[in-house]
Structure 1
Amino acid sequence: MSANHKIISDWLKQQQISEIECLVPDMTGNARGKFIPAHQFISHGDPRLPESILVQTVTGEYSDEHWDFVEPTDTDMLLRPDESTMRLVPWAREPTAQIIHDCYTQAGELHPLASRTVLRKVLAAYEEAGIQPVVAPEMEFYLVARNEDSDYELVPPVGRSGRRETARLSYSIDAVAEFEDFVEDMYDYADAQALDVDTLIHENGAAQMEINFRHGDPLSLADQVFVFKRTVRETAHKHEMYATFMAKPMKGEPGSAMHIHQSLLDASGNNLFVNEQGEHSEAFLSYIAGLQQYTPELISLYAPNVNSYRRLAPEIAAPINLNWGLDNRTCAFRVPQSDTAATRVENRFPGADANPYLAIAASLASGLVGMQKNLKPTEPHRGTANEDSVEVARTLEEGLRNLGSTPELSSLFGDLFLRAYAAVKLDEFEEFNRVISSWEREHLLLQV
């Protein structure tokens, strides 16, 4: 028995677990896997899953190039549990554990198409450079009334007052209290799973919330966001609501983001974004420049769905260009006001619908290559940045065009992964494009 298997086995027995959810984040960032009785998990070898699940579209279909990325025999991949991800499933009726697994090929190598592998490769490049990245995600989401017919628009749920929200209620304490029972259960579930969640606020949208995570290791935080999204959905179901992380679920309401705060530490734990004089370092400026340079190429990892680009639009509280600024929330890359040791940059591009492993990997990879190339950023923007011209893609298809065009990024992500990702997302775009919307019928049916 391996050391980590013994750690897991002992924990399962201590917690009297009867069943285990063996979880794998797929390309969309959703959970795939198996339910396995605890005694079988302990006594049997590594679980297996067909590798094809890593290249399914959000609808469960496959692209025409599917067999270019996986074996035509649909070979099994091996799943190896990461003991650092062991958590209880607090909403389960029986004592149940959830464990996130890494995917391996039959040859014993990390599977190149797995999201966790991609982030691990980026973090390995940082480790080789003697740098420790630190991230802190902020997750926005909406509570909506149960909607069993996708032809109907979403509406906010009824709160404890018996009414639906209609006004802009940013940071409203009373608006959060409307859903006090949901919030209390969400925090209880988060505590039971050792999620490092911090503050909760009411965001600008109707029944839109934001929760902040404490800063820490990027892989651990990606795992926590992955678990948190499941947790919020389960909590909402308990209270006869839906929780959605769609980037733009409702017309007339702001979108939902996954802002990623990030900083870098050297081997002694010093913040590399400041120099000895307490000023922004050359590494910091090159990191910012890398975000500016490579976001257009990697935008589809921040905005991975057709709906994502409804959020990235002029006159909506989301970035549309590549400006950076000091404590300027209209900029794509915001440097919050802080003491010297906490100097960081906030990437405001990723949507709440992004796969957290891939979005964090994209942001860290951009900064790393920027530092390696000693890139120089623009001057910090001092005005309202979202009044400037649009500099990023407005559709998923456009966002995928330049993916993989920078050799250094292709090496970090893996050419096979980038080609598979583009194929999956282009298939989703084409499927969406076949749908004729009500707007087209209303305005084009008899007028053109």
Structure 2
Amino acid sequence: MSFNMSMSKASTFTDLENWLNERRVTEVECLVPDLTGVARGKILPRGKFTEDRGMRLPEAVVAMGVTGEFPESGPYYDVISPTDKDMHLRPDPSTVRIVPWASNPTAQVIHDCFDPAGKLIPFAPRSVLRRVCELYEAEGLVPVVAPELEFYLVARNTDPNTLLRPPIGRSGRAETSRQAYSIDAVNEFDPLFEDIYDYCEKMELNVDTLIHEVGAGQMEINFFHAHPLGLADEVFFFKRTVREAALRHNMYATFMAKPIAGEPGSAMHVHQSILSKETGLNIFSNPDGSESEAFFHYIGGLQRYIPAAMALVAPYVNSYRRLSRDTAAPINIAWGHDNRTVGIRSPIATPQARRVENRVIGADANPYVALAMTLACGYLGIKNKIKPKPEMKGDAYLSPYSLPRSLGEALDWLRRESDLHEVLGREFVTVYSEIKEMEFAEFMKVISPWEREHLLLLV
């Protein structure tokens, strides 16, 4: 299987400077993805960026909750200094992209996070994915992935207490029914998607197919197969791009896992295969084209560890509203060939393109954490030669739930799975778990309309 590295031309700081000169860049957005996937950082004048070749930020900037809060005490501060120390951010030249919607020539560059000794900050999302990729490299293996990212277009909504609704298209009407794979339904938003594709082309994002998904106003974009780190960068950029383009067309784009009651949730399905670094061949296939032991062991690893890792790819209370029988999302980690009811699917493919699709990941997941999670589970399967359960040949929705049903339960499972701690890094699991516990506690302070409707006068 060949794949597009989908990387910008810059590979050194000299290349980066030439790239900025050629485009007459006057400002640089210095970005670092936090645990939520939000772009943090600073905007620097070009001269300041060239002079510093990086910047400093408090290390907790990449380890805050979605509300911007931090834990008040606990194991979080065994990893992150309570004195609010700085980390040094260094630009990765290969990530430089133009900001196509900026009024002045502006570039955006993703940075890696380092401590004073020059070591990667272990709880930064990009560091975690690097760590997992290096484990594969040490085994002479190269992971290849291709995400399929779903999202909803919704009408502008400035009141959190008001239900979300599909936006108005070219016809002047909003969708009121499901339009899976409808070309005309996509064409309703042609001006928006023309801008999205134009932005993606200027940013050198290798997006592939656009389709209308099942839900009203729900879309899906597919990415070409590539190396995980570069693709995580592209998903990070793409989410930012779609939100910006939607705002310019008087609507919102949301990657919430379950934004609208009664409509399907949004996923980030991740296709993955593993190549031999020496031969370039797909290790999921034997020379005769049959499925290899590595293929089955990889699936075995996903089945063994995904339930304990769900907090990483279903990171919010809302995420678990998607994972139910009536939302077209997996409820267990059964596997099967060309079976969309399972959590782990093997699509129809040639032997060299044989791959595994992880269908449990939500669109709300941080792309770096999501790819690290699924590759870590597969890695443990290959290393420990874990055999998968028998293939599911029927409807997996008729089988019992085998995934955690809430964020609190998922965090309990994650804390108990020491194998994942070793692969992903104990510092990362500690910080991540503490942040999610804090978010869960914040949510539990909110009284929902359902509770007022059904409990107020009846209990």
Q: Does 1:198 align with 2:200?
A: no
**C-alpha distance in 2, partners of 1:283/1:44?**
46
In the other structure, the counterpart of 1:60 is 68
Identify the match of residue 92 of structure 1 among 72, 92, 102. Answer: 102
User: Is residue 246 from structure 1 mapped to residue 256 from structure 2 by the alignment?
Assistant: yes
In the alignment, the residues of structure 2 paired with residue 72 and residue 436 of structure 1 have an alpha-carbon distance, to the nearest angstrom, of: 32
Q: Which runs of 5+ in 1 are unaligned?
A: none
Distance 2:415 2:372 in 1: 14
| Deviation for aligned residue 1:212 | 0.2
> Which position in structure 2 is the counterpart of 1:36?
44
In the TM superposition, what is the alpha-carbon distance from 1:84 to its structure 2 partner? 0.8
Task: Say yes or no: does 1:364 pair with 2:351.
Answer: no
Query: How far does the alpha carbon of each residue in 1:272-295 deviate from its partner, in whole angstroms, 9 at most, with x for none?
Result: 001122111000000000000000
Q: Are the equivalent residues in 2 in contact too, given 1:51–1:77 (CA < 8 A)? A: yes
Aligned-partner Cα distance in 2 for 1:212–1:40: 37
Q: For residues 26 and 63 of structure 1, what CA distance do their matches in structure 2 show?
A: 16
Tell me the C-alpha RMSD between the 2 structures: 1.1
Cα deviations by residue, 1:260-283 (Å, 9 ceiling, x for unpaired): 000010121111001122111000
Structure 2: tracts of 5 or more residues without a match? 1-10
Equivalent residue letter for 1:49: L
One-letter identity of the residue aligned with 1:446: L
Greater CA deviation, 38-47 or 373-382?
Answer: 38-47
CA distance in 2, matches of 1:403, 1:42: 42
Match of 1:422 in 2: 433
CA distance in 2, matches of 1:263, 1:4: 29
1:331 to 339, 342, 363: 342
Find the counterpart in structure 2 of residue 76 from structure 1: 86
CA offsets per residue over residues 352-377 of structure 1, 9 Å max, x none?
00000011001001011111111100
Within the alignment, does 1:133 sit opposite 2:173 as a pair? no
Find the aligned partners of 2:429 and 2:52 in 1 and give their Cα distance.
34
Q: 5 Å matches for 1:47-446?
A: 47-64=55-72, 65=74, 66-266=76-276, 267-446=278-457
Q: What code does the residue aligned with 2:331 have?
A: I
Deviation at 1:7, TM superposition (A): 1.8
What is the CA deviation profile of residues 189-227 of structure 1, one whole-angstrom value per residue up to 9, with x for unaligned ones? 001100010000000000100000000100000000000
Runs of 4+ in 1 over 6 A off after TM superposition: none
Match of 2:34 in 1: 26
* Cα shift at 1:67: 2.7
User: Which deviations, in whole Å up to 9, do the C-alpha atoms of 1:150-178 show, x marking residues without a partner?
Assistant: 00010000111111101111000000000
Q: How far off its partner does 1:315 sit?
A: 2.2
Q: Between 398-407 and 334-343, report the one with greater CA deviation.
A: 398-407
Cα distance, 1:70 vs. partner?
1.3
> Please, which moves more after superposition, 428-437 or 408-417?
408-417
Report the TM-score when normalising by structure 2. Answer: 0.96
Contact 1:404 1:415 in 2 (8 A): no
Farther off after superposition, 404-413 or 344-353: 404-413
CA distance in 2, matches of 1:87, 1:305: 30
1:16 corresponds to 2:24: yes
Task: For residues 39-70 of structure 1, give each alpha carbon's deviation from its aligned partner in whole angstroms, at most 9, with x where no partner exists.
Answer: 11111242111101122110011112343321
Identity %, equivalent residues: 55
Give the whole-Å Cα distance in 2 for the aligned partners of 1:19 and 1:431.
Answer: 37
Distance 1:210 1:137 in 2: 10
CA distance in 1, matches of 2:80, 2:443: 25
Query: 1:135 touches 1:216 (CA, 8 Å); kept in 2?
Result: yes
Name which of structure 1's ranges 93-102 and 61-70 shifts more when overlaid on structure 2.
61-70
CA contact (8 A) 1:314 1:390 kept: no
Encode CA deviations 1:236-257: one digit per residue, 9 max, x unaligned.
Answer: 0010000000000000000000
The one-letter code of the counterpart of 2:383 is Q
Distance 2:275 2:123 in 1: 29
CA distance, structure 2, for counterparts of residue 155 and residue 271 of structure 1? 44
Bigger shift: residues 133-142 or 44-53: 44-53
Q: Provide the rounded CA distance (Å) in 1 between the counterparts of 2:84 and 2:132.
A: 27
For 2:25, the aligned partner's letter is I
- CA contact 2:32–2:62 (8 Å) conserved in 1: no
Mapped to 2, the partners of 1:299 and 1:67 lie a distance apart of 24
2:453 maps to a residue whose letter is E
Question: One-letter code of the match for 1:218?
Answer: P
- Measured in 2, the distance between the counterparts of 1:236 and 1:7 equals 33
SS at match of 2:83: coil
- Checking the alignment, whether the CA contact within 8 Å between 2:53 and 2:91 is kept in structure 1 is no
Q: Counterpart of 1:315 in structure 2: which amino acid? A: D
AA aligned opposite 1:347: N
Q: Distance in 1 between matches of 2:46 and 2:387?
A: 54
**Aligned residue in 1 for 2:3:** none
Q: Distance in 2 between matches of 1:404 and 1:269?
A: 36
Q: Secondary structure at the match of 1:101?
A: strand
Question: Which residue identity is paired with 1:97?
Answer: A
**In 1, are the aligned partners of 2:53 and 2:90 still within 8 Å (CA)?**
no
CA distance in 1 between counterparts of 2:208 and 2:347 reads: 17
Q: Is the 8 A contact 1:16 1:95 kept in 2?
A: yes
Count of residue pairs the alignment pairs up? 447
Residue 17 of structure 2 aligns with an amino acid whose one-letter code is S
Aligned to 1:315, the other structure's residue is in SS state: helix
